Amino acid sequence: MAEAKNYTAYCGLYCADCNRSKSDLFELVAKLEQWLTVLKFEKYAAYKASTNAPQFAEYPAFLRVLNAMKELTCVTCADKADSEGCQVRKCVIDKGIAGCWDCTSSSGCDLLTPLLKAHPCLEHNHKCIRERGVDNWSAQRGKHYSWD
């Protein structure tokens, strides 16, 4: 199953499970932003906030979130030409291994610790990859996000 190999990140996450990999979402965000600009929605929101809909006063905060969402689009670590930005990727490449699952220090690794807060599946995924191989592990992967 080549798909599993293509979507397996160096850290042991399955890229296709990540919110950031959902290109359709980011296309919709861009379209929404275009529409809001064309409609001069900031003026409409200000008008609505002054009438009977005070929640529209929060429109500037909504725009900040929308802009932050645009920054979340994904560049998978395997496709990125340099290791800038992902210290896990750099570490794996420097060690000459396929991924964190091949590292004897992956359990308790300082580079993986920040990921574990949102992605409790890492150690489970590493075990699955070691047992089944990078081509055949994905059907047994753990839940991607802690809130799933």
In which element (H, E) is residue 73 found?
Answer: none
Expressed as residue numbers, the domain containing 56 is 21-70
For residues 40 and 51, what is the distance between their CA atoms, to the nearest angstrom? 18
Per-residue pLDDT tens over the stretch 78-112:
555 544 678 898 899 999 999 999 999 998 899 99
Instruction: Please list, in sequence order, all residues whose beta carbon lies within 8 angstroms of the beta carbon of residue 67, skipping any fewer than 6 positions away.
Output: 33
Q: Is residue 62 part of a domain?
A: yes
Determine, yes or no, domain membership for 148: no
Do 45 and 118 lie in one domain? The reply is no
Instruction: Enter the pTM of the model.
Output: 0.77
**pLDDT the model gives residue 109:** 93
Cβ neighbours of residue 78 closer than 8 Å, sequence gap 6 or more: 6, 9, 10
Q: Does residue 102 sit in the same domain as residue 129?
A: yes
Same-domain status, 6 and 30: no
Does any domain span residue 145? no
Same domain, 83 and 124: yes
Do 116 and 98 fall within a single domain? yes
Q: What is the mean pLDDT of residues 33-45?
A: 97
Query: How many domains does the structure of the chain reveal?
Result: 2
Q: Are residues 52 and 84 in the same domain?
A: no
Per-residue pLDDT reduced to its tens digit, 2-12: 677 888 999 99
Looking at the fold, whether 83 and 10 belong to one and the same domain comes out as yes
Burial of 42 (0-12, 13-18, 19+ CB in 10 A): middle
Most confident among 22-26, 57-61, 113-117 (mean pLDDT) = 57-61
**Mean pLDDT across 54-67:** 97
Give the separation between CA 144 and CA 58, rounded to whole angstroms.
Answer: 31
Residues 83 and 14 in one domain: yes
Q: Is residue 147 part of a domain?
A: no
Identify which of 19, 121, 119 has the alpha carbon closest to the alpha carbon of residue 74. Answer: 19
pLDDT for 103 equals 94
Whether the per-residue pLDDT at 30 is higher than 50: the answer is yes
13/86 same-domain check:
yes
Q: Is there a single domain that holds both residue 94 and residue 131?
A: yes
pLDDT band at 23 (very low <50, low <70, confident <90, very high): confident
Instruction: Fill in the DSSP letter of residue 14.
Output: B
Mean pLDDT of the chain: 89
